[in-house]
Structures are given as C-alpha cells and as structure tokens.
Structure 1
C-alpha cells in the first residue's frame, strides 16, 4: 500500500536537517566516517551491537557526509515499516484495514521520532515488520524458500540490534495461537535456529561489552504505562479511543478455519511480548529501553485498525438492514463501499492534526536530549588554531568529533591517541603524571565541560579525570564562560602567585 509509505516519507523528511546532532547520533556520524578496518578495530572493544549498522552508514556517509544523510536511512526504514504494516493489514484483514493500520503507524509520534534518529532502531523496526510479513506468508505456503527468506530477515534484523531476537518469542506465540501443524513448527524452528546461530558470535562479543548498558535502570509500572501511551499516541484524546478499538479487535468471534493466523494472533504478541520479556529480564539484569522495542509498535495500529473495521462492519450491517426495510439500496452502492475507508482516513487525519505539536517538537534541536552543534558554535567563536583545550570528562570530546571544523587546529591537551587509531570512541588519554606536566606548561586552557561534571558531588573514578579536576581547580581561575545546552565552554587562566591560597568565584 503506497499511501502509508508516502505519508511516512513526507513526515520523515519534514525538518530532517534540524540543525544539530545529539550525542548518540554523533557517535554514528564519527564512527561511520572511519575506514572499514578502523570500524572493525573499534567493534572489538565497544559497540559491537551496532557493527552492521555502522558499516551500512559508512557506505551512506561516504557518498554524502551530512546530518540529513545520517538520518535518511531511518526515514526509509520507517516508510518501509509503514508499508509492511499496511501489507499485514491487507493480508490478515482487508484493504481498508491495511490502509488504516499503515496510516496510524505513520502518524504515531513515536515512529516519527525514531524516523529522524541517526541510529539503527527504525531499520530494526522495518526488519521486524518485514520478517513478520514473511512469517505470515510462510504459514500460508510453508516451503523451504519461504522459511529461508524468513530466517534471513530475522538474522539481519538481529544483527542490526541483537535484542530484536525477542521477536522470535512473539512469532512462537503466533504459531501457538494459530494451532499450526507440527511440520510448520519444524520449519519455523529451523529458520529461527539458523538466525540464532548467525547472531551467536555477536552475542558473545557484545556480552563482554555489557558495561555499555550499565546506565539502564530497572523499569517499573510507570515505564509500562509510558510505553503504552507512546504506542497509541500520547495525546489524551487519542489514547482512549485507540484502546477501545484494540479492545474491540480482541473480542472473540466465530470465524472460518483459515490457513493463516488471525490478525490479533499476529499483532497482539508482537505488541506485548517483546516489551514484557525485556521488562521481566530487567528485574534481574536491566536491559529495557523504549527504543529497543520500537519494532513492537507495529502491533498497535494493526489491532486498532482491526477494531475499527469491526465497528465499521457492524454499522454497515445495520445500514444495509435499514436500507432494505425502506426499499433503498444505498448500502450496496459503490459510494457506500467507499464511505467507511474515507471516514477512517479522515479520523486518522484528525489524529495527525491533534498530535501535530508533538511531531513539530521532535523536529527541532530541543526535541533531543542535547545538541552538540551548540557546543561547536560556542567553540568556533572563541577557539583559534593552537589553543589548548581540555575535555572534562573525555566523552566531552564527542562535540569535536561530530563537528571537527569547529575545533580545527586546537591542541587537545589530554589526548594521547585518537579514537580511530586506538579502536575507541573518544580516544585514549595520557596518564595522570604526563597530564600534570602538560598542564604545568600552560598559562591558560579552554575547558569543555559536560554539565554533570559541574555538580559538586561528581567524583570520577579515572585518575586522569581526577587530575583534570584537581589541577584546574587548584592552579587556574575561570575568566570567561559560555554556557550551552548540554555543555559549558570555559576559559581558565593560571592563578597569580598572590592568589594561590584563594578560590575566587566566577565574576
């Protein structure tokens, strides 16, 4: 169905170059511009889970390294997902179900948010929706070639992000609900096993890098409620009707025996089981984050569209009965057949209009956790070639890696080996003693500081970071400050001998 694809493309391209990358996008941007051997070197120590995505983005950014190009694959992934959702609605329901489901996916703010994110999640969602469509096709005609295509789609999806493997749990529930014969279970198990074997080396490597997700917290009831609102659309006037339509779709009803599973048997496990599984695992090892289950969003519009189709069918039945009693045949007229789809499209247009402020908010730099472009703008105003710069902590170097032209020619005081050469994201810094010697030769230094590093209670574990804090505090005084969202750029000058025992405040 082309209409949902075009709508998702339009919404995805709207405001695509919003004028700044946030920190996760900046990682994609700077890693993807490395050579393939340098990317491979990096994956041995960090970010193995994103390895395939980085290689894909390397090809994209080699053609045109820009912020719009960084996000364009996600736009295409979101558009493909809308198309796959529409195709599932047509296959499991009827054309109007597919149209409504695809459009609902396209106008949901959560899908639009990640459609403009320079990370892998929209592509993972496309892979999961495509794999689900292939599963439905394989259940209709369980030939080896269909199972092979399904296995390939699942494998690629999981290589884009390994936690997508939970999708197999949803697909197993679909098979159980459809009561498929043993030969179908066998074909699915072989396909799922093949995909898992492809994923296994990545899982082993990324397990050794699990410290990267140490920041994740144990999700609570509030996380589940928030995710439900994100799946339906967070606006109050959208949530309630959406949930009513899902409830209508889930009402049991007698139906003819089919080769394929019912729409609820496909959509409900897809929407519920991946988040539920990560919620359960996260009680022991926190692994849940909203973006890791973005692909589960596809189930919600399918259920809502199926519920709307049921209601439309009931209304049409009453209309036809009343028409026959009155001697008219309005219900069978071609215009009558178009009435329900048009009403549904108009209702979705109202949903889009109501949620437009949310979509607009996501398309400005303030819609992301931070904006490294503001730090670069501040730096280009004050930094000149040869100026000494200290990043506190070292991850503050990401603004320089994302926008190197703003820091061109400056002297990175603490850096010993750059990221591409060291196989790290932000480079390897010198040891504490060498850093003290380097700072002792300076009469001034520009410090790019992350906001959390300015808190009085922040105490880094790394000895080099502690030396930065101690030397700057004891031997320098602040002279100039530029505050930007997410970071601060400060000029420190060496403390005069007469002030060696004071700690003057910033003027």
Structure 2
C-alpha cells in the first residue's frame, strides 16, 4: 500500500482532542480565556453588595485593612497571622481605591475571574478547546465559586494562584527550563502564604507526577520547587500554630455536603476516557486536586477539627476540569449529544435558586450590618453596652456610628490601640462595678443565647445581669441576639423604666 493510500487511515486514528490540541488556533484560545472570565465577572457583580450588608469575617478584613501596615503586623502577633499578608494587600488596595464595600469584594471577583481563565486553559491544553471552554464555564457556575467570588476574604485569591500554579506545573513537565519551575514555585508559595492549607494542593501535584510516571529529571525539579515552598512556608506555619485557638469554633466538618457532591460527580466523570495522551492526563491531574485536600483535612478532624469548605475552595478546579471534559467527551459521541445538553439545561435551571440565595444577607452565618442596626435602634444615648462574650465586639466594630452614643462597659483598651480584634477588657470586678452605674444595658450575645465562656470576666457580666437587672426586650438578628436589660431597683414589675418604657412594657 502506498503512502498516499495509507494517509487517510492514519488520519482517522488520531482522536479529535489530539488534533484540537495540536491545532488550537489563537481565536479558540481567546474564547477559552475570555468567556469564563467574563461570566465570572458578570456573576460576581450580580448582587455583589448583598443589600449593603457584611458578615463577620469580612468585617475583620474591613477593620484590619484600614489599619496601618505596622498595626497589621503587631496585630498578627496576637491573632490572625495566617491572613496577615491578605490584610496587607487589602490595605494597599484600600489606599488606592478607597475602603468601601465594593473595594472590599471586587478583588475576589477579579481573582476568581483569573481562576476561571486558568481552568479553561488547563482543560484546553489537556483535552482541547471545547473542553477548555466548558470547564471554564462550569467552574464559574459552581455555587461555592459564586459565593466566595463575592467575599472580602483571601480564598478567591488563593484559588486563582493555585489554578495558575497548576497550569505552570503542566507547562513545565515537558521542559527542564529552571525559570518555568521558578514560576511554579513562587506562585504556589504565594498561595500558601495567603492561606497555609494551599500547601495541600502541593501534595496533590506530587501525586499527579508520580502516577504520571514523569522522568526522574522532572521529579527532581518538582521536588526542588516543593522544598523551596515548604521552607518558605515553615516559619509562618510554626508561628501561627500558637494561634490554633482561632479555629476552636469548628466542631466538625463545616459545609461538607457541597464539596462532596462535586467530588462524587468529578470522580464519576473520571471513569470516561477524558483528555489526550501526554506527560500528564487530565483525570490524573484533576482527581488528586479534587479529592486529596478534602480527604487530608477530614482525616485530621478526629484530632483537630479543621475542615471548612472555603479552606479547600481550590479543589473546585479538579471538579470543573472533570465535568467540562466529560461534557466534551459525550458531545463527541453523536448518540449522547442530545442527552448531554438536556442534562446541562436541567443543571442550569437547578442552579438558579441557589445562585439567588447566595446573594442575600441570610446566605452568611451572620450579618454585622443588621447587628449594628439593632444595637443602634435599641440603645439610647448614655446606655451601657455589654458584649457576651467580649469577642462579639468584632460584630459591631465595622461601623462605629452604631455604638457611638453607648458606653462600652467592659472595654479597657480599644482594638486599634491594643493591636487586637476585640480590644482588651477590664478586670471582672471593675466590669461589675461599672454595670451597676447604669439603669439600662444593651447586650450583644450568641443568637441561641448560649452561655459565655467560663472565665471571670464573663461570669461577672452574667451574674451581675442576673442579680441586678431584668430582661426588657430582645431583638433576634442573623448571627446575634440584642437584648435590653433594665436595673431592678425594687420589686415593682415596671421599676427602673421611664414613662416611655413603661408604655412599651404595658403594650
């Protein structure tokens, strides 16, 4: 058989993804980058203000980013060292663009947009243009991606950096150029310095390279980069270990269900022949980054519960890659194409309600704007203000106008001057004495009314309220209870109330 006769047969043995990979025109690459990025920005801007509300963690970012860099550094000695770099970045952004609500959240929108483009490029390189476009769009639509694209915290930035570090890894595998591995190492290190648990993605990368059986020279290059990342992260990890009490609130896995749903779907998709043959297969890259970070945090939970979905937000990269490549695979099978698009439309319809819900104040565990408004409404000029416990002071610190006319009865030194998040409180005896100087006290406490931590200060607050005051009224808001207490001067049911209060009590 002649060469001309053998040509068509050879051409037919080359799978469509391989041809797509080798002949990906620049317009297709541009679409893979621009379409997911644009969709992410559009979804990020949709309802970004959440009715001008803010939740507790964002409030901490807002407060610390408004402090000087030296104050951020000194505060990190006491608390939140793991987020110190992020606060410093946000401080500079606030200095350039103002410290408003949009400025707080827009960096996360842009970071997640960059992550969506990176996911698209990863899938394009490993499975072709259509898979790249679909993976990028899937990533943009994932509920957890939509949620954290609108939060003033570090997780979107970490996700973007891990995405592009993963892309740098895939690009570096066929090469031995040191600068490529330097880019990979520096990008991963920056992600780890923004949040320590990004180092779990490094473990996933190592598993990918071992399973892919890359040449020893590649393993040595990756090992050198990984050693540099660990060495750069180690001082932060050792120092921040002394602040592990910050995650004592985690009693068990937090919002695990959504992560598991994406993981199960992704692993199921991995059973199909996805992507193209090469140094690294798509499924071999995607499955470890989808599964391993979650698994490692979960197996540590019996010793120290530390799993929260946002800590491994970057695992969404693996899920999006697998789902996008799976859709591309079935699209190429003529008999399955119609079913794939019917399923896609059904999923999009199912995502409408969760997407709307994510843009409401109730989608977060608390609402510091509502808490501050309740304190402002219930309090009067000259009333006392008491936090049960003192850590709840963070919930009203974002807007000082909410508590401007009230006297913080337990505060000895404010958060800024003390380089803390919640300030320094007076000794227990002094707190009790100050409480007895007031006839009305507004308290902020846990939404369920749970008891405050068993320490002398909190015991002094609760015992003094119980013995000398009585509850007048309570306002329940998302994340807290705001209760007004009045002084019990005599056994009369309406004692201690001015005429207006008596009228309210009777009514």
Structure 2 counterpart of 1:365 = 361
* 2:320 corresponds to: 301
1:437 paired with 2:433, answer yes
Determine which structure has greater relative contact order: mean sequence separation of CA pairs < 8 Å that are 6+ residues apart, divided by chain length: 1
Identify the match of residue 233 of structure 2 among 178, 181, 199: 199
Relative to 1, partners in 2 of residues 1:231 and 1:407: Cα closer, same or farther, differing over 3 Å? farther
Partner of 2:484, secondary structure, is strand
Verify: 1:247 aligned to 2:247, yes or no.
no
> Equivalent residue of 1:416, what SS?
strand
- Cα distance in 1 between the residues matched to 2:401 and 2:439: 25
Structure 2 counterpart of 1:8, from 40, 64, 73: 40
Map of 1:235 onto structure 2:
none
- SS of the aligned residue for 2:79 comes to coil
Deviation of 1:349 (Å):
5.5
1:245, 1:305 within 8 Å by CA — same for their partners in 2?
no
Choose which of 60, 71, 96 in structure 1 pairs with 2:105.
71
1:413 to 388, 409, 414: 409
Alpha-carbon distance between aligned partners in 2 of 1:172 and 1:188, rounded to the nearest angstrom: 8
Cα 1:499–1:383, aligned 2, differ >3 Å: closer, same or farther? closer
- Segments of structure 1 that go 5 or more residues without pairing to the other structure are 233-238, 320-339
Deviating beyond 6 angstroms after TM superposition, the runs of 4 or more aligned structure 1 residues are 342-347
Residue 92 (str. 1) matches residue 91 (str. 2): no
Deviation readout 1:52-82 (Å, 9 max, x if unpaired) = 1111111223332222221111111111111
Does the 8 Å CA contact 1:110/1:231 hold for their aligned counterparts?
A: no
Match of 1:279 among 295, 298, 302: 298
Q: Is the 8 A contact 1:103 1:348 kept in 2?
A: no
Q: Could you tell me the TM-score, scaled by structure 2's length?
A: 0.85
Shift of 1:499: 5.6
Secondary structure in 2 aligned to 1:287? Answer: coil
What is the CA-CA distance between 1:450 and the residue it aligns to? Answer: 2.6
Deviations 1:409-442 (A, max 9, x none): 4221110011112121100100011112212222
User: Which residue matches 1:51?
Assistant: 84
Maintained 8 Å contact 2:301/2:307 = yes
On the 8 A contact 1:104/1:348 being kept in 2, the answer is no
SS of equivalent residue, structure 1 residue 451: coil
Structure 2 residue aligned with 1:288: 307
1:83 aligns with 2:107: no
| Alignment partners' CA distance in 1, 2:48 and 2:262 | 21
Distance 1:461 1:17 in 2: 37
CA distance in 1, matches of 2:42, 2:383: 44
Question: Which has the higher mean CA deviation after the structures are superposed, 84-93 or 344-353?
Answer: 344-353
Note the 1:20-35 alignment, pairs <5 A.
Answer: 20-35=53-68
CA gap 1:32/1:343 in 2 versus in 1, 3 angstroms: farther
Tell me which moved more, 145-154 or 62-71: 62-71
With normalisation by structure 1, the TM-score equals 0.85
CA-atom RMSD, angstroms? 2.7
* Residue 282 (structure 1) shift: 2.1
* Correspondence 1:115 to 2:149: yes
- Aligned pairs, number: 464
Choose 359-368 or 418-427, whichever is displaced more: 418-427
SS at match of 2:476: strand
Paired residues of 1:389 and 1:445 also in contact (CA < 8 A): yes
Q: Counterparts of 1:16-415 in structure 2 under 5 Å?
A: 16-18=48-50, 19-62=52-95, 63-219=97-253, 226-230=258-262, 245-249=269-273, 258=278, 260-315=279-334, 348=344, 350-415=346-411
SS at match of 1:402: coil
Q: Distance in 1 between matches of 2:217 and 2:491?
A: 86
Describe the superposition over 1:434-473 as per-residue Cα deviations: whole angstroms up to 9, x where unpaired. 1122122222222223324x24xx2522211111111111
| SS of residue in 2 equivalent to 1:493 | strand
Kindly tell me: are residues 230 and 420 of structure 1, through their superposed partners in 2, closer, same or farther at Cα, counting changes over 3 Å?
farther
